[in-house]
Amino acid sequence: MLLLNLKSLSVNDLKKLSIFFLIFNSGFFYTQLNYKYVLNDIKNHIVIQSLLSEGRITDFKAFLNQKGYSTLNENDNSRWINLNQFASFSKGESDIMGIFVIDDDFKKEGFSNYKVNILYQINDGNKFRRLNKSESLMLKDILYKEMDAGLPYNLFKKLYETEDESLKEHLIIIDDRTVKSFNEKTQTYDTYICSNFMFMSTAINKGFSFFGPEAKYSWLEFGFYPVELESGELLVTFYSIASLNDENSKNRRFNVQRFQSANGLNDIIWQKEGN
């Protein structure tokens, strides 16, 4: 069993931290998880996928350096770890830590060649290991809750601004992002929320889509993919791909600063802003 003393590690040691991928046996199980960096990681994930999909490699590297990321290997630009997050994670301030892994050989017609993955480890008392099944489900819930998927703006607008009198009679408008509609079958009200995320995707099974700021891609698709290992632990990957199907999007450019200015993921409804 290996214990890490963070103070004894240099930056170069951290860059070459292959220990991050080792599996450690432990009898400890979490009943809830603290993922301190979930919002930052998702936002960074979207920026990384956007810059790569637009071929802005220099901007991609500059963004990661600005955010405190470093490659695990000086000769390999595919694996990136946030050194500040790792220091915090090592001290137990977050149960979960992710590392970005870039795949530049994704081949699917109509999609960017870049697939952006984030692999997760858990802090088990200064011992780092992969997640088990229950922890994987908890992590999935944390990610999905943060993204708060609902109806994309164009669908929500049709419901929110409906002229159908029979529908309007059964509609309660809560605010410009939330409405309730009476379900005669269940005799209860269904809630519909406008979101940049939707539980539907064209390429990822059980994935969901993100409709963000103007960019050269049409939308992003996300998937949560745990692979069970012989040890009983899971290699948990949260990944994204970018659809390039919209011919009108070629001259657009993802505005990193504008996107980063929003505190949350749904503070700005990007489709609404673009109309």
Domain ranges for the chain, please list them.
11-22+32-148+197-266, 153-193
Q: Is 146 helix (H, G, I), strand (E, B) or coil?
A: helix
Contacts of 120 (CB under 8 A, 6+ apart): 96, 97, 98, 130, 131, 139, 236, 237, 238
* Residue 142, burial from CB neighbour count under 10 angstroms (0-12, 13-18, 19+): middle
92 and 126 Cβ atoms separated by less than 8 Å: yes
* pLDDT tens track for 222-260: 999 999 888 878 899 999 999 998 777 778 999 999 999
Provide the token pair at 250: 């070629």
264 and 43 Cβ atoms separated by less than 8 Å: no
Strands 69-73 and 115-123: unpaired
Q: Is 230 helix (H, G, I), strand (E, B) or coil?
A: coil
Provide the token pair at 114: 């870049």
What pLDDT does 126 receive? 65
Contacts of 53 (CB under 8 A, 6+ apart): 112, 114, 215, 216, 217, 242, 244
* pLDDT tens track for 52-63: 999 999 999 999
Q: What does the alpha-carbon distance between residue 120 and residue 239 come to, in Å, rounded to a whole number?
A: 11
* pLDDT tens track for 195-231: 999 999 999 999 999 999 999 999 999 999 999 888 8
What pLDDT does 19 receive? 41
**Between 14 and 196, the higher pLDDT residue:** 196
Q: At how many degrees (to 10) do helices 38-53 and 133-147 cross? A: 70
pTM: 0.86
* pLDDT tens track for 92-127: 999 999 999 999 999 999 999 999 999 999 998 768
Q: For residue 128, which phi and psi values (nearest 5 degrees)?
A: -105, 130
What pLDDT does 257 receive? 95
For range 35-64, the mean pLDDT: 97
What pLDDT does 163 receive? 87
- How many CB atoms sit inside 10 A of residue 227's CB? 10
For range 29-56, the mean pLDDT: 93
Helices (H) and strands (E) in the chain, counts: 9, 12
Q: In what order do the strands lie in the sheet containing 188-193?
A: 171-175, 178-183, 188-193
